[in-house]
Amino acid sequence: MTTTPSSIGRQGTYAGPVSRLCALVLDVVIAWYSLIFLGAGITFAVRVTTNRTVSISHLRITTAIAVVIWFTFYFTYQWALSGKTLGMAILGLRVVSFDGGPLTKRAALLRTIALPISILTLGSFGIVFTRRHRGLHDAIARTCVVYDWDARAARLRWLATRNTENQSNEPLA
């Protein structure tokens, strides 16, 4: 019996559009709530130290700039550091360079800048309709998204810990 790559696991294959969309939604939610938490912390620190209240409604331009900077930092830093964001890590995805190597800092920044352009110009249709599931932002940064979670290895680890637990629970004769 020969083993095919699909029977071994999905690791290393191109990630599908649903997985990528779910990871993006998770990342937007995580980034947004972390920004709200950070803003609340800054507001609290300003109120405690200066005894003044800061209102975001009066600082619309500053708030918009802060949102852009935070989202750029959120995505670029995580992609440059590990090739995946928190949402991608939860769903078992990783961004790699087109040749399969690790992502460079430059490619991470290019991908971050091109992502909203890709979404706004419908450049993300390539994710749905091409074999490699690459969007415009992937083409610009020369990246692709692959599955990074090896289900077979995780099952083997689970079985190994289960067997160890069963052996330790058996009475000694």
pTM of the model: 0.76
Predicted pLDDT at 147: 92
**Alpha-carbon distance 84 to 96, whole Å?**
9
Distance CA 19, CA 36 (A): 26
Quick one: CA dihedral 134, 135, 141, 146, positive or negative?
negative
Q: Which residue ranges make up each domain of the chain?
A: 12-168
CA terminus-to-terminus distance, the chain: 41
Instruction: For the chain of 173 residues, list the mean pLDDT of each consecutive stretch of 10.
Output: 42 87 96 92 89 78 91 97 94 92 94 94 88 92 89 68 63 52
